[in-house]
Chains A and B, each alone.
Chain A
Amino acid sequence: MVIELSNIKKDFGKHKVLKGVDLSFSEGKIYSILGPNGSGKTTLMKSILGLVKPSSGAITVCGKDAINDFKQREFIGYAPQIARFPENLTVNEVIKLVTSIRKQPSNPDPLIQLFEIDSFRTQRLKNLSGGTRQKVNLALSLMFDSKIYILDEPTSGLDPINRIRLKELLLDLKQQGKTILVTTHILHLAEQISDELIFLLEGKIKYSGPTEELMSMTSSENLEQAIAKLIQQQTEKEQAHV
């Protein structure tokens, strides 16, 4: 297993966001983490990176402790949900900055070409459009040859053509044996690219496993239906409880 989480809990003050999450991720697969707004997807991803410190539980990445150490990040390329940059730098300068801090060779050119942002390379980040910023965000996370890519809402702000480009790129990376974690609210995208789905609801894993299995388990024809049924089950359970 490339990433393992055991019994991860996280509260922000009184607010319990993750309530005991057990997951493992293996090589050469794409995992989609689904769930409503505020269900804890970003918190889960940030815990793997050590950006958020879990209240309890253990996480290992390639066998290394991910909570108290920092070495696991050598293996991870991460694109945050909301990309924030040193606004006065140009695209080229931010690429150089991140490369110098990471101390690994980077290869941004193919990504710059793929997303057609060559003409923005000498522009300051504060002047870029939202979609272009997102492309820079993706380029920064994918420009290193990492074992793992963690992408939080990678399609947000991308036009349909670039969404397709990204999809193909992710499938290509998977072929190279990378482990990829994405969150998305675009269910048909999740359906197309994922090997496994993780459905998070109120800080607990409601489903984790292959996409087809979820469909047959809920006797649904597509992912929308399957997810709707999972949420319905939960509501019924809660009502029975009351």
Chain B
Amino acid sequence: MFNVFKYVLFDLLRSKWSIVYTLFYVLSSSALLYFANSSTSAVAGLMNIVLFITPLVSLLLGVIYFYQNRDFAELLLAQPIRRTQYFLGNYLGLITALIANLLVGIGLPALLISNETTAFTELSILILSGVLLTLIFSALALLITLLNENRIKGFGYAIIIWLFFAVIYDGLFLMLLLYFNDYPLETFALVGVILNPMDLCRVLILLQLDLSALMGFTGAVFQQYFGSTFGFVTALTSGLVWVALPLAFLIKKGNTKDF
């Protein structure tokens, strides 16, 4: 597994996509940290970028890259290596490369531009959310490529998944909230957030920034719930379940697939 991982990691780190992605974060975080009037508003601005871009890049780059590797899967799977090790090697290589890009892209400007008002805890939570989103959406990307031999379709699913969580989900969620407004909304809202990894990360960051007041009634509920250690642990656990489920499904499907 380690050798597959090593190959994938270095292959990705050398690729132009990796450089473009890092530069994108370097530029946007430098600009925000430099020009924003407060560290908190810089993090809030960066939050929106991280929440949308990290899943998009993980999905698209993941799908493109795994399809490219699919071409010579036969060469590697004809060697004495477990399929599980092969898939996990691919996955770990991708997430390590993407996380390295993220850390350098946000961490480096933050360290260089930092001053006594820089909110490092808030930045850390932001990066942690980015890492979590990378883990989740890379797993989904690998699952998509495994289940779809047709690349155009796979690519389409990646975009649909992103659109669903980034745009459609919130609309649906609001409509349901309005429709069921006779029922107790707290649990409903909590479950709604846990089922969407992007929302989950947004809530975590907003609570840390103490901007939950902006979120009105639901904000109060989240403050009460996620503000506690128990809430934080629940959020993190649900994030990890989001990673584990696609991976488990992937390993099951991967073991019966014909190459």
Contact = CB atoms under 8 A, between A and B. Distances in A.
A78 B78 contact: yes
Contacts, number: 60
Contacts of B257: 53
Interface stretch (A24-32, A84-92, A164-172, A178-186): A84-92
A88 B80 contact: no
A4 B90 CA distance: 33
Interface stretch (A44-52, A113-121, A219-227): A44-52
B104 to A, nearest CB: 23
A80 B75 contact: yes
B83 interface: yes
B177 interface: no
Query: Interface range on chain A: under 10, 10 to 19, 20 to 34, or 35 or more?
Result: 20 to 34
Interface stretch (A95-103, A155-163, A187-195, A201-209): A95-103
B167 interface: no
Interface in A121-141: 140
A71 B80 CA distance: 6
Contacts of B71: 84, 87
Interface string B62-95: 0000000101101111111111000000000000
B79 A102 contact: yes
A51 B79 contact: no
A53 B255 CA distance: 9
A84 B80 contact: no
A52 B72 contact: no
Contact of A73 (B4, B6, B75, B79): B79
Nearest to A140: B75
B256 interface: yes
A74 interface: yes
A84 B256 contact: no
B3 interface: yes
A72 B257 CA distance: 18
A49 B80 contact: no
Interface residues of B, number: 22
B79 A52 contact: no
B7 interface: yes
A78 B76 CA distance: 11
Given A51-B258, A84-B74, A84-B75, A70 B11 contact: no
Interface in B206-259: 256-259
A88 B11 contact: yes
A102 B77 contact: no
A72 B256 CA distance: 17
Interface string B1-27: 001101100010000000000000000
A152 B224 CA distance: 65
Contact of A70 (B4, B6, B80, B258): B80
A51 B74 contact: yes
A73 B78 contact: yes
Nearest to B257: A53
B81 A80 contact: no
A46 B259 contact: yes
A59 to B, nearest CB: 14
B13 to A, nearest CB: 13
A51 B80 contact: no
A83 B69 CA distance: 13
A84 B72 contact: yes
Contacts of A85: 72, 75
B9 to A, nearest CB: 13
Contact of B78 (A12, A80, A103): A80
Contacts of A84: 71-72, 74-75
Given A46-B259, A51-B259, A100-B3, A70 B75 contact: no
Interface string A31-71: 00000000000000010011111000000000000000011
- Indicate the member of B69, B74, B75, B258 with the most A CB atoms within 10 Å: B75
A84 B78 CA distance: 12
B255 to A, nearest CB: 8
Contacts of B74: 51, 80, 84
B80 A73 contact: yes
A101 B76 contact: yes
Given A46-B259, A80-B78, A100-B3, A70 B83 contact: yes
12 contacts: A46-B258, A46-B259, A49-B78, A51-B74, A51-B259, A52-B259, A70-B80, A70-B83, A73-B78, A86-B7, A86-B11, A97-B3
Q: Would you list the 4 A-B pairs with minimal beta carbon distance, nearest first?
A: A73-B80, A74-B80, A78-B78, A51-B259
Given A12-B258, A51-B74, A101-B79, 6 more contacts: A51-B78, A51-B258, A71-B80, A78-B78, A83-B75, A85-B72
